[in-house]
Structure formats: C-alpha cells, structure tokens
Amino acid sequence: MTQIAEPFNENQESAERAAGEVFSGFDSQYLNVYRENLELTAKARDSSINIRLLHSLIENYTRKSLELKEAYLEISAKNETMNQFLGIAAHDLRNPISINLMYAEFLLEHKAGSLDQDAREMIEVIRDRAGFMLKMLDSLLDLTRIEAGRIETVLETVDYAGLIKKICHSNRMLTESKNITLREFLPEKSCEVRIDPHRMEQVISNLITNAAKFSSPGTQIEVRVSIDEDRLVTTVSDQGQGIPAEKIPKLFRLFESVGIKPTAGEKSTGLGLAICKKVVEAHGGTIGVKSVVGKGSEFYFSLPLSLGLEPR
Amino acid sequence: MTTPKILIIDDDLDMQRLLKLYLKMSGFDTVECTNGLEAQALVLEGGFQLVISDLMMPGFDGIQFLRWLRQECKSMVPVIVCSSMSDKKTIDQVMSLGAGEYCRKPFRMDVLIPMVKGLLAKAD
C-alpha cells in the first residue's frame, strides 16, 4: 500500500489514474473507498498545516505582546522618572526665580528715584521675564502632577454663578487694561455644583486671558453659563481674530503653537489649554472650540450634572 | 509703645535680606536665622511678637518647628508661613498646626505687611 500511496500524494488526478491501472481488477466500490481515504488524508494534512500555522501565530503573538508589555513598563518607568525630575526641577527653580522677581519689584517700587530710565526699563524686563518663568514653571508642575495621576481635585459644593462672578471680577483689571469689555450671562436659577473651585477658576481664567490676548480694544468677551439637559455648559466667547479650522486640532496639545499673534505681544507658555483640557476631563467633562476667522472664537466646556452637580 | 520684634526663619539669605528690608521699612525690628533649630533657641530666649517662617529648610524644617512651637513650647506667638509650596495638603497641614497666615512665594510686600499688622493687632 505504501508503495502505491507515495505518488498519490503528489496530485489527486495522477493518483487516481495510477490507482485505476494498478487496481483495474478491483471492484469500483473498493476504488471509491480508496478515493475517500485519499481525500481525508489530504484534509488531515491541510488541517495539520493550519494548526501548525496557528500555533506559530499564537507563539509569535505571545512573544510580541510580552515584548510590548516590557517596553510599556520600561517607558512608564522612564516617564515616571521624567515627571519626578520635572517636578523637582520646577520646584527648585521656583525659589531663585522668586528672588529675582521680588528684588526687581523692590527696586522698581523703592529705588525708582535713583534709577535712570534705561535701568528702570531693564529691571522691568527682569521682573516681567521672571514672572513669565514662574508661570511656565507652575504650569509644568501642574502638568507633571496631572500626568502622574496626582491631579488634585478637591471637590467642594460651590455656587457656580457666584464663582463665575468672582472670576470675572478678578480678570476685569486685565481686560479693562486692553479696553475690552468683559460680561457674564448667568442662568436665572442658581446652580450649586460639586467641583474643585480652584481648578475651575484656573480653567475659566485661562479662557478669559486667552480671549483677551487675541482681542482688539473696543471688543467684548462674554462668559455664559447655561444648563443643557444633563450638562452644565460654560462658554467664553470673544470678537477676536478667530482660529483657522486646520489649527483647531492643535490647540489643546502641549507646546503647540498655532502661530496666531497676540494683539499686545503677550507671551504664551503653550501649556494653558492642555491643562484646561486635563482639568475639565478630571471633572468628567469635555472641552472644545468653535471659531470663525475674523469674527471670533467661542471656547466651551461642559460638565455632567450627574456627577454631583445639581441645579437648585 | 515698643517696636514689635519679628523672627525671620529662612535658609535663603537673599530672601532673608528682602524680608528684613521690607519689615524694617514698615517699622518692625527683626532677627534672622536659617533653620528651625536656631529658631528654637531664639524663641526660648523670648521677646518675639511674630514669626515668619519658610517651610523647606535643611535639618529642622518649618513644619517641625511649627509643631514644636505649638505642641511642646505651647507658645501662641502668631506665625506667618512663607513658602513656594502650593499644594492644598501642605497648606492645610500648616494651618492646622496653628499658622495664622500662609503666604506663597513670590509674594508682594503689600500682601505680607497687612498680614503682619493684622496678626499683631489680633494678638493684642
């Protein structure tokens, strides 16, 4: 049988021919059984090839996922070290920069009389640059905390309308210095919410500061609060330059500059909106923007009322 | 009326100098030291109406000093903590240990001086 079976493996047609010659005297029923046997052998061979293939695929997959897991752990560890380093560096840098800022302020406030104009202006530059570095450092510290999952949201029950009024009040000095009107529109019924007021103030102030940064004198910034079904929606809209549609996806990413010039040469850290996004998301909310070039932008974020936020 | 004497605890000599300058300009006397241990000895000598302390200092830090001052020394002298720390946990801890005010660095003197005056008035 094995002698005959050998060539049969090659090709079913020639096998049948050969079988027909060798077994010409045999009865056709026997030939049929033999043919079925051949087909089954071929199928068995195919499945054994498939199983081997499957085995090697699984093996490959397992190895790859182990490699990926190792790489992931390695990157996580590196990331954690990086974050720790950034946190320490930012903190240790704060003190000397604070000294620079405070010394410059002292000179400008108490020694201005004995300084000529050049000296005064240079010290003002030192003060302003030191202030900017501090802002940048604080944002970096914030981000490292957020990245490390250590974002502190200390939830409190807050009168949201009251909070908005307070934030607008404290930002009015900035907007008025650019001759921009800042107005708030609040819902009639007051709204008590469970949020981190400090973090939320950071978000709303950032949106107002940004709006002012890209607005011209004589324009208006509006802060609106509304309740849309199960969400509390806050919008900050301006009549500024607007943002081209293709730049919008970059806005909330770290250190992405969209290349729009502030109206009074203000500086940007490139971190503000990324932090806003993280803070809003930590509250279970979403943030976004609608903008028309030449007409203005409207930044909005919504917080779920289901997360302990209740209109009263 | 005698001039109120204020103890400044800060390991940063440049910060010490600025605090001293501003406080003197506002009519206060000051004594400076660079850590909590030195401060302990000075407090035990007595004569301070107010303490301004940093938090992160080598050796005996601001938190340890504050704990010693209130719990062991049982002193009620008002304390303003000036630090660059900003996390709520630290500030809460400092306030619960009995600090009267928390002033984050960098601060403007027109923020610190009213704090000093306010605490001194309250202590009277």
* Tens digits of residue pLDDT in B44-97: 998 999 999 999 888 899 999 999 999 999 999 999 999 988 777 889 999 999
Task: Report chain A residues whose CB lies below 8 A from the CB of B88.
Answer: 152, 154, 198
Name the residue among B86, B105, B108 with its Cβ closest to that of A105: B108
Confidence of residue A4 (pLDDT cuts 50, 70, 90): very low
Nearest CA in chain B to A107: B18
Looking at the whole model, is its pTM more than 0.90? no
- Does the CB of A110 have a partner CB in chain B at under 8 Å? yes
Confidence of residue A76 (pLDDT cuts 50, 70, 90): confident
If phi over 0 gives left and psi between -120 and 50 gives alpha, with beta otherwise, what is residue A311? beta
Is the preceding omega at residue B114 within 30 degrees of 0, hence cis? Answer: no
Q: What is the pLDDT of residues A79-111, one digit of tens each?
A: 778 777 776 777 778 889 999 999 999 999 999
The whole-number average pLDDT for the span A212-218 is 92
Name the residue among B87, B89, B105 with its Cβ closest to that of A98: B105
Task: Report chain B residues whose CB lies below 8 A from the CB of A134.
Answer: 106
Predicted confidence at residue A142, as pLDDT, reads 78
Q: Which amino acid is at A303?
A: L
Q: Residue A141: which of A286, A271, A257 has the closest Cα?
A: A271
Who has greater pLDDT, B72 or A7?
A: B72
- Mutation target among B11, B14, B102 for the A interface, most CBs of A within 10 A: B14
Task: Report chain B residues whose CB lies below 8 A from the CB of A135.
Answer: none
Task: Report chain A residues whose CB lies below 8 A from the CB of B106.
Answer: 97-99, 101-102, 134
Instruction: Tell me if residue A297 falls in helix, strand or coil.
Output: strand
- Does the CB of A153 have a partner CB in chain B at under 8 Å? no
The whole-number average pLDDT for the span A61-68 is 91
Contact A102 B88 (CB under 8 A): no
The whole-number average pLDDT for the span A139-159 is 76
Contact B108 A101 (CB under 8 A): no
Cα angle A170, A174, A180 (rounded to 5 degrees) comes to: 115
Who has greater pLDDT, B68 or A194?
A: B68
Q: Write the DSSP assignment of A17-31 as a string of letters.
A: HHHHHHTTTS-HHHH
The verdict on ipTM greater than 0.85 is: yes
Predicted confidence at residue B109, as pLDDT, reads 85
Task: Report chain B residues whose CB lies below 8 A from the CB of A91.
Answer: 84
Cα angle A267, A111, B34 (rounded to 5 degrees) comes to: 85
Helices (H), ranges, chain A: 2-8, 12-22, 28-110, 117-147, 160-177, 197-213, 272-282
Q: Write the DSSP assignment of chain B as a string of letters.
A: -PPPEEEEE-S-HHHHHHHHHHHHHTT-EEEEESSHHHHHHHHHH---SEEEE-S--SSS-HHHHHHIIIIIS-----EEEEES---HHHHHHHHHTT-SEEEESS--HHHHHHHHHHHHHHH-
User: Would you say residue A288 has pLDDT above 70?
Assistant: yes
Predicted confidence at residue A198, as pLDDT, reads 86
Min Cα distance B107 → chain A (Å) is 7
CA atoms within 13 A of residue A199's CA, in its CB half-sphere: 24
**Residues A223/A183, Cβ–Cβ less than 8 Å:** yes
Task: Report chain B residues whose CB lies below 8 A from the CB of A102.
Answer: 15, 18, 105-107
- Mutation target among A92, A106, A128, A139 for the B interface, most CBs of B within 10 A: A106
Task: Report chain B residues whose CB lies below 8 A from the CB of A140.
Answer: none
Tell me which residues of chain B have a C-beta less than 8 Å from any C-beta of chain A.
12, 14-15, 18, 21-22, 25, 84, 86-89, 105-109
